[in-house]
Amino acid sequence: MLGLRDLDVSEINHILDTAEGFEQISTRSVKKAPPLRGKVVANLFFEDSTRTRNSFTLAADRLSADVIEFTQKMSSVSKGETFLDTARNLEAMGVDIVVVRHVASGASRLLSRSISACVVNAGGGFCEHPTQGLLDIYTIRKIKKSLEGLKIGIVGDIAHSRVARSDIWGMSKLGAEVILVGPPTLMPPKVDELPVSVSYSLDDVLEELDVINMLRIQFERMGGNPFPSVREYSHFYGLTGERMQKAKDDILVMHPGPINRGVEIESEVADGKNSVILEQVKNGLAVRMAVLFLVNQAAAEKA
């Protein structure tokens, strides 16, 4: 499970349908199910993450798996124990599923080539963050029933966003029209060859959007200064209460978190009636349970 670019429509829908079943578990008084009993899931996090890691831990826990937590901030050293060494060591302990978060794009793909345990990408570099993409899609599907024909705006730092890439692949495959919004300095090269349209003006497109996903401005990832000041960025791309006046009444406001309040989104919008930000977090759990469950099932079928 490395990215949504590799999945087809039926596979994506199958994961979402499975997640629906798991969502109900969370409403029961005993919040556990047995399908991963006796299995070991390793959370291999080489980059800071609270939300995603906890969500995966809880998901594995609810499926009755044993969980190993491995958290290490990876410096870019090329000598010493490498990323693969670490993973191979864990594998030697009998891990069945490795959930990996890494600063480098392609790390999960490298891992899946090199070890026999199942690999779930929990966000790698700027490439993909497939469970985030799936939970975004799940949240939209749950409220709007289908993504077919929806106009979905993704706003902000597209160039350095793995969430944007997973959203682009998944949402466009399910029939949504994806519009990327942000300054040209935050767009990746050859963005016109992706299955999207691009706008540099939020005000131009806001009124037609059914869903708006506000990406976090990732100060730690941007090289140079792609925009002159935070104040100027907020002026053009911040989702303010005032701007929201122009949007459709039933627009869904999403954010992958953590929020920079007052930068890409004002508190009154983040906490407002159109916001589904906490709903996303809740759905993330069900989606990750589904992913772990299906990955384990696929491995069992292969064996």
Partner 1 sequence: MNSELLIKNGRVIDPANGIDGKLDVLIEDGLVSAVGRVQKEVETVIDAEGKIVAPGLIDMHVHFREPGDEEEETISTGSAAAVKGGFTSVVCMPNTRPPIESETDVEYVHRKARQARKTHVYTMGAITKGREGVELAEMGFMSEAGAVGFTDDGRGVQNPDVMLRALKYASMFDVVVAQHCEDTGYGEGVMNSGYSSSILGLGGIDYLAEESMLWRDIQLVKKLGRGCVRYHAQHISTAGSAALIRKAKKEGLSVTCEVTGHHLLFTEEQCMDYDTNYKVNPPLRRQADIEALKAAISEGLVDALVSDHAPHLKSEKELEFLTAPFGIASLECAFSLYVKALIDEGVLDWSGLIRLLTCGPAGVIGVDKGTLSKGRQGDVTIIDPDAEYEIDVNTFRSKSRNCPYHGWKVKGRVEKTIVGGEVRYSRGDE
Judged by the rule CB under 8 A, the positions of this chain that interact with partner 1 are 5, 76, 78, 82-84, 102-107, 109-110, 114, 124-128, 162, 165, 188-191, 193-194, 223-224
- Name the nearest CA neighbour of 237 among 162, 181, 177: 181
CB of 296 to partner 1, least distance (A): 25
Whether 123 and 256 have beta carbons less than 8 Å apart is answered as no
- Name the nearest CA neighbour of 6 among 179, 180, 170: 170
For partner 1, which is the closer residue by CB, 58 or 103?
103
Q: Give the amino acid at 282.
A: K
Q: Count Cβ atoms below 10 Å from residue 245 Cβ, excluding itself.
A: 9
CB of 280 to partner 1, least distance (A): 22
- Name the nearest CA neighbour of 39 among 18, 63, 69, 15: 63
For partner 1, which is the closer residue by CB, 35 or 106?
106
Q: In whole angstroms, how far apart are CA 257 and each of 51, 103, 185, 254, 281? A: 8, 17, 22, 9, 9
Q: In whole angstroms, how far apart are CA 294 and each of 119, 136, 184? A: 12, 19, 39
For partner 1, which is the closer residue by CB, 112 or 139?
112
Phi-psi region at 53: left, alpha or beta (left = phi > 0; alpha = psi -120 to 50): alpha
CB of 267 to partner 1, least distance (A): 31
CB of 6 to partner 1, least distance (A): 11
Beta pairing, strands 40-45 & 66-71? parallel
For partner 1, which is the closer residue by CB, 62 or 160?
160
CB of 188 to partner 1, least distance (A): 4
Angle (CA) 108-5-171 rounded to 5° is 125
For partner 1, which is the closer residue by CB, 178 or 265?
178
CB of 151 to partner 1, least distance (A): 22
For partner 1, which is the closer residue by CB, 34 or 189?
189
